[in-house]
């Protein structure tokens, strides 16, 4: 299916054992994680180049020594063949009641270009994610399968549940495919309008 109008879409791929994947993610020692002040979230690099700080260096993506085999197998056998490439894989661990900064996941000159992100929530709800529009915040539906979201649209997330939210996230250098199989668009860009002033949503680098 064409993707130029996609804001949020579910991806109908076979899903891994989420409770077991969550257990293994939460058992990874803290020494392998870092705190992201921007997202107010603990980040655990699972597939990286170098030390995981950037995607844009020479070399191949490789699984870390501590990446759970259940996650490696799922990506290698199911997700990466569907995506057509490898990319950095991060586990995001967000405590109850914690919110991300509202932001746009691209540079200003990339606005209105394809900026898709692949996500699966292993524990928690997908409808804590919302997109910011001229008519207020529009929340994603709650689904159990992976999803694609348009990271080039201003968005935020507040873990309003009582449990830790655990998400597997894949983004740049993968920014989406020309067309998708096994997807169903649930929110379309054409149904919403971005805020007129986007200056507050660009990620601060300092």
178 part of a folded domain: yes
> What is the count of structural domains for the chain?
1
The DSSP string of 149-198 is EETTS-EEEB--SSS-EEEEEE-TT----SB-SSEEEEEEGGG----S--
Give tens-digit pLDDT for 152-175.
Answer: 999 999 999 999 999 999 988 999
pLDDT for residue 39? 80
Tell me the CATH number at 107: 2.60.120.330
Instruction: Work out the percent of the chain whose per-residue pLDDT is above 70.
Output: 92
| Kind of pairing between the strands at 6-11 and 147-150 | antiparallel
Average pLDDT over residues 57-70: 88
CB 156 within 8 A of CB 101: yes
> How many other CB atoms are found less than 10 A from the CB of residue 20?
13
Domain containing residue 104: 6-201
Q: Please state the length of the chain.
A: 206
> What's this model's pTM, rounded to 2 decimal places?
0.92
Q: What are the pLDDT digits (tens) for 94-109?
A: 999 999 889 998 889 9
> Is 183 among the domain residues?
yes
> Residue 21: phi, psi to the nearest 5?
-60, -40
Contact in structure between 140 and 8 (CB atoms under 8 Å): yes
Asked whether residue 1 is domain-assigned, the answer is no
Tens of pLDDT, residues 72-90: 999 999 999 999 999 999 9
Q: How far is CA 118 from the centre of its chain?
A: 5
3 state DSSP class of 128: helix
The per-residue DSSP string of 8-64 comes to EEEE--PPP-HHHHHHHHHTS-GGG-EEETTTTEEEEEEEESTTSS-S-SSS--EE-
pLDDT reported for residue 149: 97
Quote the pLDDT of residue 55.
46
């Amino acid at each position: 299916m064409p993707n130029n109008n996609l804001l949020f879409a579910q991806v109908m791929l076979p899903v891994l054992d989420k409770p077991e994947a969550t257990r293994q993610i939460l058992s990874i020692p803290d020494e392998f994680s870092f705190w992201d002040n921007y997202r107010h979230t603990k980040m655990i690099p699972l597939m990286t180049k170098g030390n995981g700080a950037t995607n844009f260096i020479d070399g191949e993506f490789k699984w870390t020594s501590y990446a759970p085999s259940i996650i490696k197998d799922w990506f290698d056998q199911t997700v990466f063949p569907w995506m057509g490439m490898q990319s950095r894989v991060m586990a995001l661990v967000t405590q109850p009641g914690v919110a991300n900064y509202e932001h746009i996941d691209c540079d200003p000159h990339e606005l209105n270009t394809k900026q898709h992100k692949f996500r699966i929530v292993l524990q928690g709800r997908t409808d804590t994610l919302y997109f910011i529009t001229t008519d207020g915040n529009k929340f994603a539906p709650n689904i159990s399968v992976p999803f694609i979201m348009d990271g080039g649209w201003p968005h935020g997330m507040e873990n309003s549940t009582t449990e830790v939210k655990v998400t597997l996230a894949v983004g740049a250098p993968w920014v989406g495919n020309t067309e998708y199989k096994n997807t169903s668009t649930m929110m379309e860009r054409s149904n919403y309008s971005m805020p007129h002033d986007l200056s507050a949503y660009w990620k601060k680098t300092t």
